[in-house]
Chain A
Amino acid sequence: MTENGSAARGWETVVGLEVHCELSTVTKLFCSCPNAFGSEPNTNVCPVCLGLPGSLPVLNARAVEFAMRIGTALGSSVEASVFHRKNYFYPDMPKDYQISQYDAPINVGGHIELADGTLVGIVRAHIEEDTGKTTHVGGGGRIHDADYSLVDYNRAGVPLVEIVSAPDIRSAEQARSYVTELRAILVATGTSDGRMEEGSLRVDANISVRRAGDAEYGTRSEVKNLNSLRSLGRAVDYEAARQIGILEAGGTVAQETRHWNEEEGRTSSLRSKEEAYDYRYFTEPDLVPLVPSAEEVAAVAAALGPLPAARRHRLAELVAADGAPAPVDQLATVVGLGLDDLVAAAAGAGADARLALARASNEAANRPDEARALDPAAFAELVKLEAAGKLSATQSKSVLAAMLEDGGEPAQIATRLGFEALDPAELEAAVDAAIAAHPAEWDRYRQGDAKVAQFLLGAVMRSTRGRANGKAVAALLEARRN
């Protein structure tokens, strides 16, 4: 069922997200083992993260600073906090407990502004340690029929911040937008690389449905194993439709944890026969409270650069100066990849801001690392050449690709690629040649068949190897018609 279909029948989807974010510190949260992705298994381990008797945790100062940066960026209140032990038996933690924050988290409250302006509340953003990585062997890799499991503790003790949203999200699209925005904030604050595909960002979704206008929330399910934005969006739509199906048939939704299966495109219950988990939280006796001073909180806030929402507003103003609204998707892409300074610099150097935004959000966005290293003056020059019609859109994209590959001056690259702008006589000759070569098509064009214009334009582009300016060709064809 589509979102619109369910909305038309009077249902509203309610989503809250819990995002676990790995901090890009050099070392782990409570020991000096390297915090590194992709090392050989069990090579970044020591007595502390292996839970060996007699070892003691000591808190990583940078992890605390990063958590404070995240809280400040989310508009949270940064408060005195306490660590707790969360007790459970599972081989991903050799201590048989995970150190987390429970009833006194470091960051309380706040909100995220989505690219479309929607505000989503933040409940808390607390510090905790990551668990080891288990691999299930045999039985096709499925947990319930595994022959045995293998454990790698490199990830055990890696610092995490868990960011819990309020149930303010109302659609799959908003859920994706929230994670996109959160990722942009994490990257902008330098606290995480935000790579979902490497597990730096892991999302659990609490999903429920209710009749539009109801004040009470419905019973929610918690969906795990959402490893991409695509999975998140699909799982929200699937789970809402499943719950609506149950409710419309007169049933009740069970509060449970469900597992998203990307291949099958569905969720399944994870409820085991065992009793609900009772984690027996108690304060971690080996760690003392964390009490940031007002000066420390102020220093973190002062060092924080402009955040994505503010940067989008700045860029939107720049682009919309020509009178039309700025394209929201392009703004989000460019700010999310940290290319907004490039666009702003190009506009500052006299290039057309809208065209600069378009190039940055498409061609440059394919290679964000190289794009961030581009010489802003050269990028501005490219946009000016295209805006002046000296390069066609196709040529401009090719020159930009070459600049991203090797750097260099756009005018020189254009010459090297043979992208000298056609002089007007050459262009007219090419158009006349195309008309002469395709008399039947030309007749149809003259009788008003607009679709043939594309065909004739293509012919001119082929004969000029993409050097012709599309708008100029269209104008010439129009002039020849009369």
Chain B
Amino acid sequence: MSLPVGADYLSILRHLVALYDTGVTEGFSRDDVVYVARLARLDLEPSEVDLYAAQLGSILDHVAAVTGLDTTAVPATAHPLELANVLRPDTPGPTLPRDEVLSQAPHAEGGRFRVPPILGEAP
């Protein structure tokens, strides 16, 4: 299975669930693990790739079990809490002292964080 570029994880999960529904049970492949690890800048040993493929596969099995439930009477939610519209007034509050902020960084210069040269534009 190859993950569609730009897809969000809910849709990937839905995609996987759909595969289970149609009887495809190959689970989370080694390629999927390698791809997700690269996006997360994780350097995995081959043995770890196998381990996580199996573990993620079992999580997906669990998700697949949910599809067996009858949820037609359950309204869709975007958050586990039954809350909406948590807002704060637009009034300023305290900020952190700059010296304290920059003292936490490996390098600073001219009041700014100094970071290694960046390859490519901001996405």
Contacts and interface: CB of A to CB of B under 8 A. Distances in A.
Interface of A: 25-27, 31-34, 40-47, 50, 58-64, 80, 82, 84, 87-92, 102-104, 131, 134-136, 138, 143-144, 146-153, 224, 257, 259, 270, 272, 274-283, 285, 287-292
Contacts of B10: 282-283
Interface string B1-26: 00101111110000000000000000
Contacts, number: 170
Nearest to B90: A62
Contact of A149 (B7, B38, B87, B117): B117
B112 A59 contact: no
A416 B34 CA distance: 81
B84 A291 contact: yes
30 contacts: A27-B90, A32-B92, A33-B93, A40-B111, A42-B112, A43-B98, A43-B111, A45-B96, A50-B96, A60-B87, A90-B123, A91-B113, A91-B118, A131-B122, A135-B112, A144-B119, A148-B114, A148-B116, A148-B117, A150-B109, A150-B110, A272-B120, A276-B5, A278-B3, A278-B5, A279-B6, A279-B8, A279-B123, A280-B8, A281-B8
Nearest to B107: A148
A45 B115 contact: no
A283 B115 CA distance: 29
Interface string B80-122: 0101111111111111101001100000011111111111111
A26 B101 contact: no
Nearest to B111: A41
A288 B83 contact: yes
Nearest to A290: B85
Given A90-B122, A278-B6, A61 B95 contact: no
A274 B120 contact: yes
B78 interface: yes
A313 to B, nearest CB: 34
B39 interface: yes
Contact of A134 (B38, B84, B109, B118): B118
A290 B90 contact: no
Interface residues of B, number: 45
Given A27-B91, A143-B120, A150 B5 contact: no
Contact of B123 (A84, A88, A282, A291): A88
Contacts of B86: 58-59, 287-288
Contact of B95 (A25, A34, A104): A34
Nearest to B120: A272
A281 B9 contact: yes
Given A143-B120, A152-B112, 5 more contacts: A40-B98, A43-B95, A46-B93, A90-B123, A148-B115
A27 to B, nearest CB: 5
Contacts of B98: 40-43, 45
A61 B90 contact: yes
B8 A45 contact: no
B121 to A, nearest CB: 5
Interface in B18-60: 38-39, 41
B117 A146 contact: yes
A270 B110 contact: no
A257 B122 CA distance: 11
A274 B39 CA distance: 11
Nearest to A284: B79
B8 A27 contact: no
Contact of A32 (B39, B41, B91, B112): B91
A149 B84 contact: no
Contact of A278 (B39, B93, B112, B118): B39
B121 A257 contact: yes
Contact of B101 (A42, A88, A146): A42
B97 to A, nearest CB: 9
A52 B50 CA distance: 33
- The 8 A-B pairs with the shortest beta carbon distances in the complex, nearest first, are A32-B93, A281-B8, A62-B90, A150-B112, A61-B87, A41-B111, A291-B84, A151-B113
A74 B91 CA distance: 27
Contacts of B5: 275-276, 278
Contacts of A136: 117-118
Best-surrounded residue of B7, B95, B101 (most CB of chain A within 10 A): B95
Given A40-B98, A45-B101, A150-B110, A59 B87 contact: yes
B15 to A, nearest CB: 14
Contact of A102 (B8, B90, B113, B114): B8
B1 to A, nearest CB: 15
B9 A45 contact: no
A26 B110 CA distance: 26
A39 B108 CA distance: 18
A25 B112 contact: no
B118 A58 contact: no
B115 A149 contact: yes
